[in-house]
């Protein structure tokens, strides 16, 4: 079954508990699959990417490491690695692979960390587990925790039309439901801007599969130097349901 096809009517305020339950149940399937937000890079490609942003004296944070494939790569490159993971089952698997990483089992919105602590914050397929209204608050935390010259990198999917809600995860057996934000490029760009970031670089992964739900993107952001009052990104049009074309498409 195609991923994210069936929407389930649940109260959006329940999303942390619903997501924790789903990712606990999915943890062993994540362990055996080639995870990393389904962004199809090899370990060597990820290693090369991260080594451009961190070194042996760097501090890095991974938000939502899942079963820890990328965490292992980051923690082998970095002086200090922290991860915040909602699912205790996922965190237990990640800990086996990265015993030197400091893995905090918590909702990222309930964690307090030091200001300007990290050179890199990475969120692989995790920023889309929030309702749009919650995303600026998450990104503002990343903005606070990131050093002035640090980088925030993420993977997610981009969709021609924005949608969000509780979806059945169709690419895994078991009919697990979790909150899934299907960003349009416009909505994602606005959320990043509101959270204090501007996009420095983005890599779109072409989908060969006509059934695939959205196109995977890896984004790299830097902190905006001056925060304007929260509001719409002055450089983009308002996003409407018809939305703009996904970046990279004509
Ligand atoms: C789709 S999985 C991605 C796992 C891995 N990063 C990857 O790229 O395959 C999303 C992960 O983010 C975690 N997560 C979702 N919401 C979270 C939150 N509010 N706080 C901490 N972790 C969260 C989930 O438990 C899950 O392990």
Task: Quick: pLDDT tens for 126-172.
Answer: 999 999 999 989 999 999 999 999 999 999 999 999 999 999 887 77
Q: Where are the domains of the chain?
A: 7-223
Residue 248 confidence (pLDDT) above 50 = no
- For a mutational test of ligand 1's pocket, the pick from 41, 126, 176, i.e. the residue with the most ligand atoms closer than 8 A to its C-beta, is 126
pLDDT the model gives residue 244: 45
Nearest ligand 1 atom to the CA of 39 is 8
CATH 2.40.110.10 fits 7-223, yes or no: no
55 in Cβ contact with 82 (< 8 Å): no
Instruction: Give nearest CA residue, ligand 1 atom 18.
Output: 107
Read off the DSSP letter of residue 227: P
Cα 40-45-49 angle, rounded to 5 deg = 115
Nearest ligand 1 atom to the CA of 23 is 25
Residue 247 confidence (pLDDT) above 50 = no
Show the tokens assigned to 216. 């995977």
Task: Quick: pLDDT tens for 199-246.
Answer: 999 999 877 766 677 899 999 999 987 655 555 555 555 675 544 444
pTM of the model: 0.90
The share of the chain scoring above pLDDT 90, in percent, equals 66
Task: Quick: pLDDT tens for 99-133.
Answer: 999 999 999 999 999 999 999 999 999 999 999 99
Instruction: Give nearest CA residue, ligand 1 atom 4.
Output: 66
Residue 1 confidence (pLDDT) above 70 = no
pLDDT the model gives residue 132: 94
Cα 106-110-111 angle, rounded to 5 deg = 75
pLDDT the model gives residue 52: 94
Task: Quick: pLDDT tens for 22-43.
Answer: 999 999 888 887 565 578 899 9
Q: Which residue has better confidence, 214 or 68?
A: 68
- For a mutational test of ligand 1's pocket, the pick from 23, 94, 108, i.e. the residue with the most ligand atoms closer than 8 A to its C-beta, is 23
Neighbours of 150 (CB within 10 A): 24
Note every long-range contact of 165-168, with CB atoms under 8 Å and residues 24 or more positions apart, other chains counting: 165/7, 165/8, 165/12, 166/7, 166/8, 166/9, 166/10, 166/12, 166/15, 166/18, 167/3, 167/4, 167/5, 167/6, 167/7, 167/8, 168/1, 168/4, 168/5, 168/6, 168/8
Pocket of ligand 1 (CB under 6 A): 16, 19, 23, 35-37, 64-66, 84-87, 90, 107-109, 124-126, 129
- Separation of 193 CA from ligand 1 center, angstroms? 22
- Separation of 63 CA from ligand 1 center, angstroms? 7
Q: What average pLDDT score do residues 46-51 get?
A: 96
């Amino acid at each position: 079954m195609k991923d994210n096809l069936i929407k389930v009517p649940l109260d959006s305020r329940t999303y942390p508990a619903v997501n924790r339950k789903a990712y606990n149940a999915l943890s062993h399937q994540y362990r055996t699959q080639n995870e990393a937000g389904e962004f199809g890079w090899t370990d060597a490609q990820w290693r090369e990417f991260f080594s451009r942003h961190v070194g042996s004296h760097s501090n890095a944070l991974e938000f939502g490491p899942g079963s820890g494939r990328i965490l292992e790569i980051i923690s082998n490159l970095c002086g200090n690695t922290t991860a915040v993971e909602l699912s205790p089952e996922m965190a237990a698997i990640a800990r086996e692979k990265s015993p030197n990483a400091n893995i905090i089992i918590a909702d990222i919105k309930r964690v307090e960390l030091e200001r300007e602590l990290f050179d890199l914050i990475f969120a692989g397929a995790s920023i889309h587990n929030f309702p749009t209204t919650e995303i600026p608050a998450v990104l503002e935390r990343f903005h606070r925790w990131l050093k002035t010259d640090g980088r925030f990198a993420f993977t997610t999917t981009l969709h021609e039309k924005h949608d969000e809600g509780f979806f059945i995860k169709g690419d895994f057996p078991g009919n697990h439901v979790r909150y899934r934000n299907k960003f349009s490029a416009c909505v994602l760009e606005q959320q990043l801007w509101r959270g204090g970031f501007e996009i420095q670089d983005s890599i779109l992964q072409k989908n060969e599969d006509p059934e695939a739900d959205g196109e995977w993107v890896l984004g790299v952001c830097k902190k905006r130097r001056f925060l304007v009052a929260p509001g719409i990104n002055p450089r983009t049009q308002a996003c409407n349901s018809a939305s703009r074309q996904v970046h990279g498409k004509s």
